[in-house]
Amino acid sequence: MIYAIVISALLSSTAAIELSEKNWDAETAGKSVFIKFYAPWCGHCKALAPKYDELAERLSGVDSIVIAKMDATANEIDHEGVNVSGFPTLKFFPASDDGKVIDFNGSREVDDFIEFLQKNAAIKFTLDGEDESEL
């Protein structure tokens, strides 16, 4: 019985979407994308992973934003304004016409990620229990 509960919890958890050159367009069309460019061997990337997956879980009901990650050692990053020179590198691609990419340079805590996304998202959103006047 306990095993079934644990397996159910693991299967229902929402992790960041793994993007590649092949699925980028299909997974991100018309949406804002907050992406972590990482290297599998990077200790800082591994340390950030649980918080980043928690972010994906908390924003799973926000249809206008994709929380994603991409192995920068296995994929070509061919986007104007995107320079990955260290790991992890966090970038926000708002769903807007200007195509401007925003670097995330804040604290790497879930609440700080959410505040950044609420400030910069083209389509404003709230999470359960938040008052829209807080935005």
Give mean pLDDT, residues 2-29.
69
Q: pLDDT tens digits, residue range 28-63?
A: 999 999 999 999 999 999 999 999 999 999 999 999
What is the pLDDT, as a whole number, of residue 110? Answer: 98
Separation of alpha carbons 25 and 14, rounded Å: 20
Separation of alpha carbons 84 and 90, rounded Å: 9
Highest mean pLDDT among 5-9, 41-45, 81-85: 41-45
> Above 80 in pLDDT, residue 67?
yes
Separation of alpha carbons 126 and 132, rounded Å: 6
Separation of alpha carbons 43 and 22, rounded Å: 26
More confident residue, 75 or 130: 75
CB contact at 8 A, 44 and 87: yes
Residue length, the chain?
135
What one-character-per-residue DSSP string does 48-78 give? HHHHHHHHHHHTTT-TTEEEEEEETTTS---
Sheet strands (E) in the chain: 17-18, 32-38, 65-71, 89-93, 102-103
Q: pLDDT tens digits, residue range 92-106?
A: 999 887 878 999 999
